[in-house]
Protein backbone atom coordinates (compact mmCIF):
# COMPACT_ATOMS: atom_id res chain seq x y z
CA UNK A 1 0.00 0.00 0.00
CA UNK A 2 1.26 3.45 -0.90
CA UNK A 3 -0.20 6.65 0.51
CA UNK A 4 -0.03 9.74 -1.71
CA UNK A 5 -1.30 13.30 -1.31
CA UNK A 6 -1.75 14.09 -5.02
CA UNK A 7 -4.59 12.93 -7.25
CA UNK A 8 -2.64 12.15 -10.44
CA UNK A 9 -0.21 9.60 -8.96
CA UNK A 10 -3.08 7.91 -7.12
CA UNK A 11 -5.22 7.55 -10.24
CA UNK A 12 -2.43 6.51 -12.60
CA UNK A 13 -0.90 4.15 -10.05
CA UNK A 14 -4.22 2.44 -9.36
CA UNK A 15 -4.93 2.03 -13.07
CA UNK A 16 -1.57 0.31 -13.47
CA UNK A 17 -2.02 -1.99 -10.48
CA UNK A 18 -0.03 -0.13 -7.81
CA UNK A 19 -2.35 0.17 -4.79
CA UNK A 20 -2.38 3.86 -3.80
CA UNK A 21 -4.74 5.71 -1.48
CA UNK A 22 -5.04 9.28 -0.22
CA UNK A 23 -3.62 10.72 2.99
CA UNK A 24 -2.74 14.18 4.24
CA UNK A 25 1.07 13.95 4.30
CA UNK A 26 2.78 16.72 6.19
CA UNK A 27 5.94 18.29 4.85
CA UNK A 28 9.06 17.19 6.70
CA UNK A 29 9.53 19.02 9.99
CA UNK A 30 13.20 19.48 10.85
CA UNK A 31 14.09 20.13 14.48
CA UNK A 32 17.74 19.81 15.51
CA UNK A 33 18.82 16.47 14.03
CA UNK A 34 15.31 14.99 13.71
CA UNK A 35 13.15 14.81 10.59
CA UNK A 36 9.48 14.12 11.27
CA UNK A 37 6.28 13.75 9.29
CA UNK A 38 2.86 12.28 9.82
CA UNK A 39 0.04 10.90 7.73
CA UNK A 40 -3.57 11.62 8.57
CA UNK A 41 -7.07 11.57 7.14
CA UNK A 42 -9.53 14.37 7.92
CA UNK A 43 -7.46 15.37 10.95
CA UNK A 44 -6.96 11.86 12.41
CA UNK A 45 -3.28 10.91 12.45
CA UNK A 46 -2.60 7.24 11.74
CA UNK A 47 1.15 7.14 11.04
CA UNK A 48 4.10 9.09 12.45
CA UNK A 49 7.61 8.76 11.03
CA UNK A 50 10.82 10.08 12.55
CA UNK A 51 14.43 9.89 11.42
CA UNK A 52 17.41 10.95 13.56
CA UNK A 53 21.22 10.70 13.60
CA UNK A 54 21.47 11.47 9.90
CA UNK A 55 24.81 10.83 8.22
CA UNK A 56 25.19 11.94 4.59
CA UNK A 57 26.23 9.25 2.13
CA UNK A 58 29.06 10.00 -0.28
CA UNK A 59 28.31 10.17 -4.02
CA UNK A 60 29.61 6.65 -4.64
CA UNK A 61 27.10 5.29 -2.11
CA UNK A 62 24.33 7.49 -3.54
CA UNK A 63 25.08 6.35 -7.10
CA UNK A 64 24.92 2.72 -5.95
CA UNK A 65 21.25 3.38 -5.10
CA UNK A 66 20.58 4.15 -8.79
CA UNK A 67 18.85 0.81 -9.34
CA UNK A 68 15.86 -0.91 -10.83
CA UNK A 69 13.28 -2.38 -8.46
CA UNK A 70 10.52 -4.83 -9.37
CA UNK A 71 7.23 -3.96 -7.69
CA UNK A 72 4.32 -6.37 -7.38
CA UNK A 73 0.80 -5.00 -7.67
CA UNK A 74 -2.74 -6.18 -8.35
CA UNK A 75 -5.21 -4.60 -10.76
CA UNK A 76 -8.76 -5.12 -9.58
CA UNK A 77 -12.00 -3.74 -10.99
CA UNK A 78 -15.16 -4.95 -9.23
CA UNK A 79 -18.28 -5.96 -11.12
CA UNK A 80 -21.19 -3.55 -10.97
CA UNK A 81 -24.34 -4.79 -9.25
CA UNK A 82 -23.01 -8.23 -8.35
CA UNK A 83 -20.13 -9.83 -6.47
CA UNK A 84 -16.83 -10.61 -8.14
CA UNK A 85 -14.39 -8.87 -10.41
CA UNK A 86 -14.47 -7.69 -14.00
CA UNK A 87 -10.67 -7.64 -13.85
CA UNK A 88 -8.34 -9.23 -11.31
CA UNK A 89 -4.72 -9.75 -12.28
CA UNK A 90 -1.25 -9.68 -10.73
CA UNK A 91 1.12 -7.08 -12.16
CA UNK A 92 4.92 -6.82 -12.21
CA UNK A 93 5.83 -3.18 -12.36
CA UNK A 94 9.49 -2.15 -12.67
CA UNK A 95 10.60 1.11 -11.06
CA UNK A 96 13.85 3.01 -11.36
CA UNK A 97 15.55 5.05 -8.61
CA UNK A 98 17.39 8.24 -9.55
CA UNK A 99 18.88 9.55 -6.28
CA UNK A 100 20.64 12.92 -6.07
CA UNK A 101 21.58 12.79 -2.37
CA UNK A 102 20.90 10.50 0.58
CA UNK A 103 21.42 10.18 4.33
CA UNK A 104 21.43 7.14 6.57
CA UNK A 105 19.99 7.31 10.08
CA UNK A 106 17.80 5.74 12.73
CA UNK A 107 14.07 5.56 12.15
CA UNK A 108 10.93 5.31 14.25
CA UNK A 109 7.48 4.26 13.08
CA UNK A 110 4.33 4.81 15.15
CA UNK A 111 0.96 3.53 13.96
CA UNK A 112 -2.27 4.71 15.58
CA UNK A 113 -5.26 2.48 15.01
CA UNK A 114 -8.29 4.09 13.36
CA UNK A 115 -12.03 3.61 13.63
CA UNK A 116 -14.63 3.55 10.90
CA UNK A 117 -15.75 7.02 12.02
CA UNK A 118 -12.22 8.43 11.63
CA UNK A 119 -11.37 6.81 8.30
CA UNK A 120 -14.19 4.70 6.80
CA UNK A 121 -12.29 3.64 3.65
CA UNK A 122 -8.90 2.85 5.19
CA UNK A 123 -9.35 1.94 8.87
CA UNK A 124 -9.07 -1.82 8.27
CA UNK A 125 -5.81 -1.37 6.30
CA UNK A 126 -4.31 0.92 8.96
CA UNK A 127 -5.34 -1.40 11.79
CA UNK A 128 -3.90 -4.47 10.06
CA UNK A 129 -0.57 -2.68 9.56
CA UNK A 130 -0.61 -1.36 13.15
CA UNK A 131 -1.01 -4.92 14.46
CA UNK A 132 2.10 -6.21 12.66
CA UNK A 133 5.00 -6.67 15.06
CA UNK A 134 8.20 -4.71 14.43
CA UNK A 135 10.78 -7.48 14.68
CA UNK A 136 13.85 -5.43 13.85
CA UNK A 137 14.55 -1.85 12.81
CA UNK A 138 17.05 -1.43 10.00
CA UNK A 139 18.75 1.88 9.19
CA UNK A 140 16.43 4.45 7.62
CA UNK A 141 17.30 6.20 4.35
CA UNK A 142 16.28 9.75 3.52
CA UNK A 143 16.73 10.18 -0.22
CA UNK A 144 16.38 13.20 -2.46
CA UNK A 145 15.67 12.30 -6.06
CA UNK A 146 12.92 10.53 -7.90
CA UNK A 147 11.46 7.09 -8.32
CA UNK A 148 10.02 6.37 -11.74
CA UNK A 149 7.40 3.75 -12.55
CA UNK A 150 8.46 2.40 -15.95
CA UNK A 151 5.06 1.63 -17.43
CA UNK A 152 6.43 0.30 -20.73
CA UNK A 153 8.22 -2.52 -18.90
CA UNK A 154 5.24 -3.53 -16.74
CA UNK A 155 3.43 -6.78 -17.46
CA UNK A 156 0.64 -9.04 -16.30
CA UNK A 157 1.92 -12.07 -14.39
CA UNK A 158 0.44 -15.42 -15.34
Give 21-63 as a DSSP string.
Answer: EE-EEPPPEEETTEEEEEEEETTEEEEEEEEEEEEEPPHHHHH
The set of residues, in sequence order, having a beta carbon less than 8 Å from that of 93 and lying 6+ positions away, is 16, 17, 18, 70, 71, 72, 73, 149, 150, 151, 154
Q: Is residue 68 part of a domain?
A: no
pTM: 0.84
pLDDT digit string, tens, across residues 102-131 = 999 999 999 999 999 999 999 999 999 999
Q: Phi/psi of residue 132, each to 5°? A: -70, 135
Model pLDDT, residue 13: 84
Could you tell me how many residues make up the chain? 158
Q: Is the pLDDT of residue 151 over 80?
A: no
Domain housing 120: 2-58+98-151
The set of residues, in sequence order, having a beta carbon less than 8 Å from that of 69 and lying 6+ positions away, is 94, 95, 96, 97
Q: Is residue 53 part of a domain?
A: yes
The set of residues, in sequence order, having a beta carbon less than 8 Å from that of 58 and lying 6+ positions away, is none
Across 52-74, b (16+ Cβ under 10 Å) vs e yields eebeebeeeebeeeeeeeebebe
As beta bridge partners, residue 144 has 101
- Average pLDDT value for residue range 35-55: 97
Task: Name the band, by pLDDT with cuts 50, 70 and 90, for residue 16.
Answer: confident
Model pLDDT, residue 111: 97
Mean pLDDT of the chain: 93
The number of domains in the chain is: 1
- Average pLDDT value for residue range 132-136: 95
pLDDT digit string, tens, across residues 78-99 = 999 999 999 999 999 888 899 9
Q: Is residue 76 part of a domain?
A: no
Q: Is the pLDDT of residue 54 over 90?
A: yes
Q: Is residue 28 part of a domain?
A: yes
**DSSP H helix total and E strand total for the chain:** 3, 10
What CATH number is given to the structural domain containing 11? 2.40.400.10
Model pLDDT, residue 60: 95
Provide the 3-class DSSP secondary structure of residue 78. Answer: strand
Task: Name the band, by pLDDT with cuts 50, 70 and 90, for residue 142.
Answer: very high
Amino acid sequence: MVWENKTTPILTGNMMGIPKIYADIEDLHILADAYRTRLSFEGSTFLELEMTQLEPLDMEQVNAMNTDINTFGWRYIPKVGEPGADLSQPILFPMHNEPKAACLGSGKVKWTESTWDQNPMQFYIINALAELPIIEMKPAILMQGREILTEARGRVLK
